Homo-oligomer: A and B are copies of this chain.
């Protein structure tokens, strides 16, 4: 005899995202998620195979949101590609500040977490496009990887509190964007 559903996968993932940001990865427990969606912990296993799978779903949702933010920042095709690259870098940094815990989860996951290739592809599409404009099509992928590595690395180090030698971190960020744009553009000129 059927019972009406008392929760849903989407609600569970959303609860996971909120708990992750509020209480860290350790605070994302099955019991806390269950309480938040109004159910007992064992019931979660009807929708999710285990905690790691739930963490992966949370990471994937965040990766897609990041991809959308960067896409939006990339803006119109007509604009100066350097300006678009700059805006994309700022969007990554703003996103990391909005969801610091999830950002770390995506870019330095535990060994078990495998990000969905489709989500990865979507999240990098606009970076590859702008990089191609700057560096030329045959260097688009290498240039996109160089830029993405710098942006994620900078933001990760900032979140980790690794910039402790003084100096102005905002200025270092803007310095980096301009140098990266130059570097990538230079490669197109060869």
Interface positions of A (Cβ within 8 A of B):
24-26, 100-101, 104, 106-112, 114-115, 117, 120-121, 124, 128, 139, 141-143, 145-146, 148-154, 156-157, 159-167, 169, 171-172, 175-176, 179-180, 182-184, 186-187
B residues in contact with A152, CB < 8 Å: 153, 156-157
Q: A160–B109 contact, CB under 8 A? A: yes
Complex copy number for this chain:
2
B residues in contact with A175, CB < 8 Å: 139, 142-143, 145-146, 187
Secondary structure dominating the interface of A:
helix
**In the bound complex, what is the Cα–Cα distance between A121 and B163 (angstroms)?**
9
Q: B153–A148 contact, CB under 8 A? A: yes
**In the bound complex, what is the Cα–Cα distance between A25 and B143 (angstroms)?**
33
B residues in contact with A114, CB < 8 Å: 161
Q: Which 5 A-B pairs have the closest CB atoms?
A: A153-B153, A108-B108, A183-B183, A149-B154, A149-B153
